[in-house]
A = this chain, B = another copy of it.
Amino acid sequence: MPEELPHPSLAEIRIERVLHALADPVRLHMVRELATLSEGVACGSIELPISKSTRTHHLRTLREAGVVSVRPSGTARITSLRRDDLDALYPGLLEGILNAPH
């Protein structure tokens, strides 16, 4: 019933877009936060010194690259890391990035 947002399928995910999505400091921070949670979280609860619209922009970039999935839940949107999909496509990549010195 709530509007579904478009996500790339496994086959549609391209490594260049994933890397570009992860290359931004703000988005990398978001991903690191998401990685510490087993469940998804509302986008707004990730603390960041940026405006709402900038947050939306980055979340969209991550979603369109296939890094996160977003599921509407009431007035909020639950964002979660597509860890299984990324691990299936690029084994080792996510771990390598998350273990990097912050």
**Binary interface encoding of chain A residues 48-89 relative to chain B, with 1 for a CB under 8 A from any of its CBs, else 0:** 000000000000000000000000000000000000000001
Check A25–B19 contact: CB distance below 8 A.
Answer: no
Check A24–B16 contact: CB distance below 8 A.
Answer: yes
Number of copies: 2
A contact face: mostly helix, strand, loop, or mixed = helix
- Residues of the B chain whose Cβ atoms lie less than 8 Å from the Cβ of A93: 92-93, 96-97, 100
CA of A95 to CA of B97 in the docked complex: distance in angstroms?
Answer: 12
Interface assignment of A1: CB less than 8 Å from any CB of chain B: no
Interface assignment of A15: CB less than 8 Å from any CB of chain B: yes
Q: Could you list which residues of chain A lie within 8 angstroms of chain B, going by C-beta atoms?
A: 15-17, 19-20, 22-25, 28, 89-97, 99-101
